[in-house]
Amino acid sequence: MFSRLVNKSKAWHKLKSHYKSFRKVEMRDLFARDSERAARFTEKFGDTMIVDYSKNRINAKTMEYLMNLARERRLEDKIKSMFRGDKINITENRAVLHTALRNRSGKPVLVNGRDIMPEIEAVYAKMRRFSEDVRFGRFKGHTGKKLVNIVNIGIGGSDLGPFMVTEALKKYWMKGINCYFISNVDGTACAEVLNKLDPETTLFIVASKTFTTIETLTNARTCRKWLVDALGEPAVAKHFVALSTNEEEVKKFGINPENMFEFWDFVGGRYSVWSAIGLSVAIAVGMDNFDKMLDGAYAMDEHFRTAPLEHNIPVILAMLGIWYNNFMGIHRYAVIPYDQYLQYLPSYLQQLDMESNGKFVDINGEIVKYDTGPVLFGGAGTNVQHSFFQLIHQGTEIVPCDFIVPAISHNEIGDHHEILLANVLAQGEALMKGKTVKEAAEELKKAGKSKEEIEFLKKFKSFSGNRPSNTILLKKVDPYTLGALIAMYEHKVFVQGIIWNIDSFDQMGVELGKKLALNILPELQNNVYELHHDSSTNALIKAVQNFRR
């Protein structure tokens, strides 16, 4: 029977007892015993991606029990439910349909009985027209100059998606077009971008689902003033467009709704790069490439919707995460793209994963009695090998890693890419195999060290190994593959939310801090001395006031 108490279920108990008998098993022994292990635990996604998950602390039984848990949680029904447009974002009573944005099936998608595909297509047609007009100089600035500086003003999902994707696809940028991103309310973010730009050639894209986010509106007002000071009020119509669900607020801000690109409340902020929020991407790389990204995401959607759980890449990755998080007590993981273009992927995934699954109340309103979303961090390889990899290899914390690397680089200069590839493959091998104290001693002996030196150094030079990683090998970082990769992680996060019985699509945790900031703001602006916070906050406000006096 379906159990509300996830961690009291049969499959959960089975995994718990499996862990007891499995926790000491070494991956290097599993590899030695089974020459087919890599093939057994590798999945292919068309001819663009290979996911090797054989370097995980699993065997066939582990995967079987994990898939039993997924089935017990009725994952297959929940997947259908999301694609069908059921209101699975229960706290906000909304459908979750970022998948409709890349629906290439030609079939309708219904929300409240209405097919939403024509509206989606209409916005894409408008994005195509506008992005091409900007790219080819048909939509000009107020003084008749070509708009070559594209500034996206947004934060969270209205920044991280387009920022990460434009960087990832830099090789596809139109020559002469430059993209900038202003997100932080820190005036430095605005100042540093504006200092580089000429108002006559700058297009501002104000990206905000709600159009009420204080950071974005503050930055947008500053940029508007900068433009109006230089070119006068009438210039706004030619230099500002808005991406939003909120026409009223867009009008209030002074942007003509004709210059607004709409999206809808069934698209969550962190899932919105596929929507009008991707306008900066479309201008930089062209709508044809944007379409290819949608094609890749659609292909991953189809895989996720139809592949059996045992061969379903997002499901496999999700259930491995569940294994570590809920049975092995490992509450963190790292995403390490070995590709400079993907350097911002970890930041993007931080919002996707941690804003979605950082929840302690389940969908029934009960406090959960098990761990939910892990801490995600990461950075580009090989750089991170020279920063936090020491801990990943020899620390007392186990950090499962996702290594992402393209086989073919956009910049095949000398032997750079072979060196990069050799490094990523070596990391997975080293983490899995480790090096025993005996092996370390032998190596020291070979290097001619004295007996005393060997005795002293051998433990420092040993590696416990048995540290998990997935290797996600891409053919190349192109729009199609990038679309598939992002969709893969979206679905992974969705699956974990289903297992944990939480609403992965709200973000109420960010509200409290926002509200308290609104209390403190006037106290700082007006130098209020009568303060009613806790003693620490009171003292800090006073210290700020004193410094600024």
Q: Choose the binding region for ligand F6P from 51-59, 149-157, 409-417, 441-449 (rule: CB under 6 A).
A: 149-157
Residue 169 CB-half CA count within 13 A: 29
Q: Considering the complex, what minimum distance in angstroms separates the CB of residue 347 from ligand F6P?
A: 13
Q: Is residue 381 a contact point for ligand F6P (CB under 6 A)?
A: no
Site for ligand F6P in 498-537 (CB under 6 A): 507, 510
Q: Is residue 85 a contact point for ligand F6P (CB under 6 A)?
A: no
Give the residues across from 480 on adjacent strands.
none
Contact pick of 7, 210, 394, 423 for ligand F6P (by CB under 6 A): 210
Instruction: Please give the size of the binding site for ligand F6P, defined by CB under 6 A.
Output: 14
CA distances from 50 to 3, 129, 148, 466 (A): 35, 36, 38, 22
Q: Choose the binding region for ligand F6P from 78-86, 177-185, 210-218, 495-503 (rule: CB under 6 A).
A: 210-218
Contact pick of 48, 208, 496, 501 for ligand F6P (by CB under 6 A): 208
Q: Considering the complex, what minimum distance in angstroms separates the CB of residue 519 from ligand F6P?
A: 18
386 is catalytic: yes
Question: Which one from 24, 386, 446, 532 is the annotated catalytic residue?
Answer: 386
> Could you give the CA distance from residue 541 to residue 531 in angstroms, rounded to a whole number?
9
| Strand residue runs (E) in 46-98 | 49-52
Q: Considering the complex, what minimum distance in angstroms separates the CB of residue 269 from ligand F6P?
A: 3
Question: Which one from 262, 355, 490, 523 is the annotated catalytic residue?
Answer: 355
Site for ligand F6P in 351-370 (CB under 6 A): 355
Q: Which of 330, 342, 329 is nearest to 381 (CA)?
A: 342
CA distances from 421 to 225, 244, 381, 397 (A): 48, 41, 10, 26
> Could you give the CA distance from residue 271 to residue 158 in angstroms, rounded to a whole number?
9
Q: Is residue 103 a contact point for ligand F6P (CB under 6 A)?
A: no
Q: Which of 14, 16, 29, 1 is nearest to 465 (CA)?
A: 29
18 is catalytic: no
Compute the CA torsion angle 17, 20, 23, 29 (nearest 10 deg): -80
Q: Which of 421, 430, 429 is nearest to 339 (CA)?
A: 421
Residue 185 or 484 having the CB closest to ligand F6P: 185
Q: Is residue 202 a contact point for ligand F6P (CB under 6 A)?
A: no
Site for ligand F6P in 264-303 (CB under 6 A): 269-270
Token readout for 279 is 């306008």
Contact 56, 466 (CB under 8 A): no
Q: Considering the complex, what minimum distance in angstroms separates the CB of residue 210 from ligand F6P?
A: 3
Q: Considering the complex, what minimum distance in angstroms separates the CB of residue 112 from ligand F6P?
A: 22
433 is catalytic: no
Q: Considering the complex, what minimum distance in angstroms separates the CB of residue 251 from ligand F6P?
A: 16
- Give, as one character, the DSSP assignment of residue 368: P
Give the residues across from 94 on adjacent strands.
89
Q: Which residues bind ligand F6P (CB under 6 A)?
A: 155-158, 208-210, 213, 216, 269-270, 355, 507, 510
Please list the active-site residues. 355, 386, 514
